[in-house]
């Protein structure tokens, strides 16, 4: 789906990849409804939009609040007159600990934002999207959604759920005007840990090492995602690490899992 003259809703539009997608969508000629839980973050996105801000609306929404989300389509329609695309980008990670060290409030928070938040948005907007001549749903999963990452088990489970639901939606909507894409980012240079309320608890030496690891800039990640959506891609791998691990996991699942464990074991105190 080409974005020119389309209306696209983006969750997590106040920071990171979501903000970059909002700004790039505007530059591609789309009208955008940016959704985020943080009003200051959304206001900063508006300021960054510059002369394009007239094409942008902002909506302060907790996507885990089903009733609030259910009211959102009418708000978007009131501003833009239509909705052609939905990009479910908002997500959080968990503390870097083993599953047994998590409490259920932490588990439920991750699942509620990453899976149910995406599902709430999809269920609210799909009845409107399916009426359009052409529409698109893109859901952001993660490299951790197809590959086990120690210390991020629940995050991975939530993103695996996003993956499979998105693929099922693709099949269910195959004979409709709605295209569906699932997106698998690797390591992206965003502040997702801070936004998730997660402390990394690393020494200065460990922080320096982590900072030196190659991550993809959010702007580049957003460009890859939007290019994939415009091509109606079934799946989009974002970053060389995501592409590599997708290949390795298909080739040797256990070997790939062991490789990731060796990369992550310092965070688990191994």
The answer to whether residue 213 scores a pLDDT higher than 60 is no
Report the C-alpha gap between 130 and 142 in whole angstroms: 26
Q: What is the pLDDT of residue 202?
A: 40
Q: Centre a 10 Å sphere on the Cβ of residue 102 and count the other Cβ atoms it contains.
A: 15
Q: Is the pLDDT of residue 45 over 70?
A: yes
pLDDT digit string, tens, across residues 121-147: 999 999 999 999 999 999 999 999 999
**Whole-number Cα distances in Å, 95 to 68, 99, 195, 215:** 27, 10, 12, 20
- Over 50: is that where the pLDDT of 211 sits? no
* 116 noted as active-site residue: no
Q: State pLDDT tens for residues 97-123.
A: 999 999 999 999 999 999 999 999 999
Decide: 63 and 39 in contact? Cβ < 8 Å: no
Cα–Cα distance measured from residue 216 to residue 196, given in angstroms and rounded to the nearest whole number: 19
pLDDT grade, residue 209 (50/70/90)?
Answer: very low
Q: Is the pLDDT confidence value at 183 over 70?
A: yes
Helix (H, G, I), strand (E, B) or coil at 180: strand
Fold of 7-268: Rossmann fold (3.40.50)
* 51 CB-contact burial (10 Å; exposed 0-12 / middle 13-18 / buried 19+): exposed
Sorted by sequence, the CB contacts under 8 Å of residue 198 that are 6+ apart come out as: 92, 93, 94, 95, 96
Residue ranges of domains in the chain: 7-268
């Amino acid at each position: 789906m080409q974005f020119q003259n389309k209306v696209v809703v983006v969750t997590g539009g106040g920071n990171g990849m979501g903000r970059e997608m909002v700004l790039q969508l505007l530059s591609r000629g789309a009208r955008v409804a940016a959704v985020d839980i943080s009003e200051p973050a959304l206001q900063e996105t508006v300021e960054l939009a510059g002369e394009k801000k007239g094409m942008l609306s902002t909506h302060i929404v907790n996507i885990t609040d089903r009733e609030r989300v259910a009211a959102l389509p009418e708000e978007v329609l009131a501003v833009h007159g239509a909705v052609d695309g939905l990009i479910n980008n908002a997500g959080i990670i968990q503390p870097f600990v083993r599953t047994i060290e998590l409490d259920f409030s932490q588990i439920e928070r991750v699942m509620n934002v990453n899976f149910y938040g995406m599902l709430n948005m999809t269920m609210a907007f799909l009845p409107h999207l399916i009426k359009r001549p052409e529409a698109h749903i893109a859901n952001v999963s993660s490299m951790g959604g197809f590959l086990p990452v120690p210390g991020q088990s629940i995050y991975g489970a939530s993103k695996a759920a996003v993956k499979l639901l998105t693929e099922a939606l693709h099949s269910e909507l195959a004979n409709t005007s709605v295209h569906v894409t699932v997106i698998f980012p690797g390591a992206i240079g965003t502040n997702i840990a801070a936004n998730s309320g997660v402390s990394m608890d690393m020494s200065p030496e460990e922080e320096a090492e982590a900072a030196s690891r190659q991550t993809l800039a959010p702007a580049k990640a957003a460009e890859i995602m939007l290019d994939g959506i415009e091509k109606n891609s079934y799946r989009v791998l974002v970053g060389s690490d995501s592409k590599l691990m997708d290949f390795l996991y298909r080739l040797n699942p256990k070997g790939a899992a062991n490789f990731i464990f060796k990369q992550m074991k310092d965070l688990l105190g191994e």
